[in-house]
Amino acid sequence: MTSEAIQARLKTIVQPYVNHHENFENLSLESDFIADLEINSANLVDVVLDVEDEFDIRIENEDMEKMTNVKATVEVIQKKLS
């Protein structure tokens, strides 16, 4: 699956948790979930659980800790899908 396809699906996943909608509209690989989108840390856990369901993968704690921005999250998902 391409990075763009994963990013599009990820955008749908994070949308309910976003508190800064202007930054969400300009979502890019560099977007940070906490600093840019203002997703709180409790909701980041929900994002990870939703990612697991959406992509039918299992994310370990060490991978979860890396998933602070879109690029790192896409990379974790690609690694799990390969």
Question: The domain that contains 21 carries what CATH number?
Answer: 1.10.1200.10
Q: How confident is the model at residue 16 (pLDDT cuts 50, 70, 90)?
A: very high
Q: How confident is the model at residue 81 (pLDDT cuts 50, 70, 90)?
A: very high
Paired tokens of 15: 């949308």
Q: 71 with 29: CB under 8 angstroms? A: yes
pTM of whole model > 0.75? yes
For residue 67, the tally of other CB atoms under 10 A from its CB is 20
Domain that holds residue 56: 3-81
Task: Give the contacts of 28 (CB within 8 A, at least 6 positions apart).
Answer: 70
- Beta-strand ranges (E) seen in the chain are none
Predicted confidence at residue 26, as pLDDT, reads: 93
Predicted confidence at residue 78, as pLDDT, reads: 97
Using one digit for the tens of pLDDT, what is the confidence trace for 22-69?
Answer: 999 999 999 999 999 999 999 999 999 999 999 999 999 999 999 999
Predicted confidence at residue 31, as pLDDT, reads: 96
Burial 13-32 (b: 16+ CB within 10 A, else e): bbeebbeeeebbeebeeebe
Structural domain count, the chain: 1
